[in-house]
């Protein structure tokens, strides 16, 4: 076991394992709260990255961690994950259920002021809720925040990892602020943190028309490609302008012909052919291969770097025109 791995395990053992375990228990017992919307039999179990990383480092004979963890940022993320659960008690007892168009304009303006780059309103369905999680309402505001292209282009690196964790933190803080903004105006709200969320965000954002899930299992957006992190806020507002979109379907055809993320994935974890399970869930990545490399090399992010859409600019429209021309 290398020195970095020993230090990492020591830090987690002292300040991490207990906190992460308590945080997980707090989040994944919300299905016991009366009135919560809960998962369906088709819903997946959440993969617990921090705990699985500790297990991997303890048991993996050939596992060598090459990075240091941005401890301060990780602690801030954990603080805001806990806040997203604890603040549920601040919801009004009889929340408002309807919002004017003027308020929705005000809400959007506020959301963008928090640093969120893309938002949409979408109905949540139970198949996307992780086992053990509970959601207060199925009225979802899905949020996306851009990750730095300059830092993604350096993946895998410490600089990339630090930026990704900073983005998680900034988006988690924004989600809690948005939930508080809604509560102060008489609505009930629940923030869902981007790190260790209660819901599968990519298919929810896909449904909302923000983008399309690509071969690498990540959301591809017109604005930033795969360089986004996702979060959500659920609210009592029943008359949001919900979207249920099939936009960006052409990306499926482009991804089928592209395959750069498959070719450039260091552990060759991205499947050439996706697996569709009886439950309807889709497997695009061999989790074990991906996670072992992810855990050792700065959280990787090579698939994001490899994706042509991540160049942004006019890439989306240019690739769309090329794809439609070849049909």
What is the value of pTM for the model shown?
A: 0.93
Q: Residue 8: what pLDDT?
A: 62
- Residue 200 belongs to what domain range? 3-235
Tokens of 88: 């549920």
Q: Residue 62: what pLDDT?
A: 74
Please say whether the beta carbons of 3 and 33 come within 8 A.
no
Q: Residue 52: what pLDDT?
A: 83
Confidence check: pLDDT of 101 > 80:
yes
* CATH number for position 42: 3.40.109
The reply to whether 288 falls in a domain is no
Confidence check: pLDDT of 294 > 80:
yes
The reply to whether 327 falls in a domain is no
Domain tally for the chain? Answer: 1
The reply to whether 93 falls in a domain is yes
The reply to whether 312 falls in a domain is no
Average of per-residue pLDDT across 176-197: 97
Please say whether the beta carbons of 147 and 227 come within 8 A.
yes
The reply to whether 326 falls in a domain is no
In Å, how far from its chain's centre is CA 32? 24
Average of per-residue pLDDT across 2-9: 60
Average of per-residue pLDDT across 246-261: 93
Tens-place pLDDT, residues 55-68: 887 776 677 777 77
Helix, strand or coil, per DSSP, at residue 238? coil
The reply to whether 226 falls in a domain is yes
The reply to whether 276 falls in a domain is no
Average of per-residue pLDDT across 163-177: 98
Helices (H), the chain: 3-11, 17-27, 49-59, 71-86, 101-113, 149-152, 158-184, 201-207, 250-258, 260-264, 287-296, 302-306, 315-326
């Amino acid at each position: 076991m290398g020195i970095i791995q020993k230090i990492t395990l020591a830090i987690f053992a002292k300040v991490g394992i207990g906190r992460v375990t308590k945080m997980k228990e707090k989040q994944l017992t919300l299905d016991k709260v009366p009135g919560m919307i809960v998962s369906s039999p088709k819903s997946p179990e959440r993969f617990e990255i921090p705990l699985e990383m500790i297990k991997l480092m303890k048991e993996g004979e050939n596992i060598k961690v090459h990075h240091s963890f941005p401890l301060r940022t990780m602690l801030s993320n954990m603080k805001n994950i806990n806040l997203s659960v604890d603040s549920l008690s601040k919801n009004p007892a009889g929340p408002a259920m309807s919002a004017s168009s003027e308020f929705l304009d005000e809400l959007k303006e506020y959301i963008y002021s928090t640093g969120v780059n893309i938002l949409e309103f979408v109905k949540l369905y139970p198949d996307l809720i992780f086992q053990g999680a509970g959601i207060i309402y199925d009225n979802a505001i899905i949020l996306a925040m851009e990750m730095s292209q300059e830092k993604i282009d350096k993946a895998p690196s410490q600089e990339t990892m630090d930026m990704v964790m900073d983005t998680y933190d900034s988006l988690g803080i924004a989600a809690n602020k948005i939930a508080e903004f809604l509560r102060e105006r008489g609505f009930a709200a629940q923030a869902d943190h981007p790190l260790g969320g209660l819901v599968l965000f990519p298919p929810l954002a896909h449904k909302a028309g923000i983008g399309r899930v690509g071969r690498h299992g990540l959301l591809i957006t017109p604005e930033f490609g795969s360089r986004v992190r996702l979060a959500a806020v659920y609210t009592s507002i029943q008359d949001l302008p919900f979207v249920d979109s099939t936009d960006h379907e052409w990306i499926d055809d482009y991804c089928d012909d592209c395959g750069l993320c498959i070719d450039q994935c260091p552990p060759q974890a991205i499947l050439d052919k996706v697996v569709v399970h009886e439950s309807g869930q889709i497997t695009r990545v061999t989790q074990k291969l991906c996670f072992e490399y992810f855990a050792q090399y700065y959280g990787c992010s090579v698939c994001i770097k490899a994706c042509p859409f991540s160049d942004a600019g006019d890439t989306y429209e240019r690739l769309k025109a090329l794809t439609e021309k070849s049909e």
